[in-house]
C-alpha cells in the first residue's frame, strides 16, 4: 500500500526517476501523488515533473499490457534526468560524453581511432620538440656558464714579458702567440714606439670579431720610447685580440700609428 513511509523506505522516488519501477508500481505512485498533492509537494522531484504528476492523465492514453513499458510520466522523468545529468569525463569528472563505439558504425569507429592516433602522434611530436629545445637550452646555458667562469678575474700567479713591434697596417696574422696557461698570468707588454713622433697614445683592445674590450687614453711612452701595458690574462678569454695604437697630436686629435695582434 502506497504511503509516505513506504515511499521513503522503498526508495520509490529514486526508482521512479531512474525508471526501475514496474508499470503497476509507477501507476500506483502517480495515482497516490495525484490524490495526495501535499505529499507530492514534499517529495524531492523536479518542479516540471511535479506539475505533470499533479494533472489528471487522459483516459486510454497508456497501456498496461507489458510491465516493462514505463508510463508517460516515467518517460518524462527519464528524459529530465538525462537532460540535467552532466556528462562525465575521465576519472568521473565532468567533461565530454563520448558515444559508444558500437553506435558509430565501422566507418565512424575507424575515423575515431584514426583521430586518436593523429592526436597521439601530435602529442608525441610536441614532447620530442620540447625535449630537444630543453636540451639545446641546457647546452647553451652550460656554455655561457663556462664562458663566464673563464672571464672571471683571478690574481695572476706568474708574469710573462712580451716585447712587440707595431705593424703600420692591421695585421692578418697574429703578431705574437701567447701560450695559455692553466694559472692566470700578468702579461707585461713592451711596445716599441721609437719611430713614432707622438708622446701620448690611445690604446684600444678589441676581439677579432669587433667586440670592444677596453680603451686606454693618454698613455705616455717611457724614457726608452716604449709603451708599457700590464694585462691580467684572466680578463681575456681564449682567442685573438687586436691592439690599435693612436697618437695624440698637439691639438688633442688621435691619429692611427700602428697595430698589434695577439693570440691568447
- What are the chain's domains? 4-84 (no CATH), 158-263 (2.60.40)
Residue 3 pLDDT greater than 50, yes or no? yes
Q: What is the mean pLDDT of the chain?
A: 81
90 pLDDT tier (thresholds 50, 70, 90): very low
CB 12 within 8 A of CB 31: no
The cell 629545445 sits on which residue? Answer: 133
The cell 700602428 sits on which residue? Answer: 258
Q: What's the alpha-carbon Rg for the chain, to the nearest Å?
A: 47
78 pLDDT tier (thresholds 50, 70, 90): low
- Is 3 or 225 the better-scoring residue by pLDDT? 225
Residue 62 pLDDT greater than 60, yes or no? no
Highest mean pLDDT among 96-100, 149-153, 159-163: 159-163
Give the Cα separation of 80 and 220 in Å (integer): 98
Rounded percentage of the chain residues whose pLDDT exceeds 90: 33
Beta bridge partners of 245: 203, 258
10 pLDDT tier (thresholds 50, 70, 90): confident
For residue 16, CA distances in Å to 9, 10, 39, 116 come to 13, 11, 15, 39
159 pLDDT tier (thresholds 50, 70, 90): very high
Highest mean pLDDT among 5-9, 29-33, 49-53, 205-209: 205-209
pLDDT of 89 reads 47
Spell out the residues 6+ positions from residue 230 whose beta carbon is closer than 8 angstroms to its own: 186, 187, 188, 189
Give the Cα separation of 119 and 106 in Å (integer): 20
Number of other CB atoms surrounding residue 23 within 10 Å: 18
Residue 135 pLDDT greater than 60, yes or no? yes
DSSP-assigned states of every residue in 61-115: -S--S-TTSPPHHHHHHHHHHHHHSPPB-GGG-B---PPPHHHHHHHHHHHHHHH
DSSP-assigned states of every residue in 8-67: HHTTHHHHHHHT-S-HHHHHHHHHHHHH-HHHHHHS---HHHHHHHTSPPPTT-S--S-T
pLDDT of 212 reads 93
Pairing of strands 254-263, 176-177: parallel
Number of other CB atoms surrounding residue 219 within 10 Å: 16
The dihedrals phi and psi of 68, each to the nearest 5 degrees, come to: -85, -5
pTM above 0.85, yes or no: no
| Average of per-residue pLDDT across 49-78 | 57
CB 215 within 8 A of CB 203: yes
pLDDT of 131 reads 87
Q: Of 46-55, 91-100, 156-165, 245-254, which range is least confident?
A: 91-100
Amino acid at each position: 500500500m502506497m504511503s509516505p513511509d513506504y515511499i521513503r523506505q522503498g526508495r520509490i522516488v529514486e526508482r521512479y526517476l531512474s525508471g526501475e519501477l514496474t508499470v503497476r508500481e509507477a501507476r500506483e505512485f502517480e495515482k497516490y501523488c495525484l490524490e495526495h498533492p501535499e505529499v507530492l509537494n514534499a517529495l524531492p522531484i523536479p518542479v516540471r515533473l511535479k506539475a505533470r504528476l499533479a494533472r489528471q492523465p487522459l483516459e486510454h492514453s497508456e497501456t498496461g499490457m507489458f510491465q516493462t513499458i514505463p508510463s508517460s510520466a516515467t518517460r518524462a522523468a527519464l528524459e529530465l534526468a538525462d537532460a540535467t545529468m552532466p556528462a562525465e569525463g575521465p576519472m568521473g569528472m565532468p567533461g565530454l560524453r563520448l558515444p559508444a563505439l558500437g553506435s558509430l558504425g565501422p566507418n565512424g569507429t575507424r575515423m575515431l581511432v584514426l583521430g586518436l592516433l593523429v592526436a597521439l602522434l601530435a602529442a608525441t611530436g610536441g614532447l620530442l620538440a620540447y625535449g630537444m629545445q630543453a636540451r639545446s637550452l641546457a647546452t647553451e646555458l652550460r656554455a655561457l656558464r663556462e664562458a663566464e667562469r673563464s672571464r672571471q678575474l683571478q690574481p695572476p700567479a706568474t708574469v710573462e714579458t712580451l716585447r712587440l713591434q707595431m705593424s703600420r697596417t692591421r695585421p692578418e696574422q697574429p703578431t705574437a702567440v701567447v701560450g695559455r696557461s692553466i694559472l692566470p698570468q700578468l702579461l707585461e707588454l713592451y711596445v716599441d714606439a721609437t719611430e713614432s713622433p707622438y708622446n701620448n697614445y690611445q690604446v684600444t683592445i678589441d676581439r677579432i670579431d669587433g667586440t670592444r674590450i677596453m680603451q686606454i687614453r693618454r698613455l705616455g711612452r717611457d724614457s726608452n720610447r716604449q709603451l708599457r701595458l700590464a694585462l691580467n690574462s684572466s680578463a681575456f678569454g681564449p682567442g685573438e685580440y687586436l691592439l690599435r695604437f693612436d697618437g695624440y697630436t698637439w691639438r688633442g686629435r688621435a691619429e692611427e700609428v700602428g697595430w698589434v695582434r695577439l693570440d691568447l
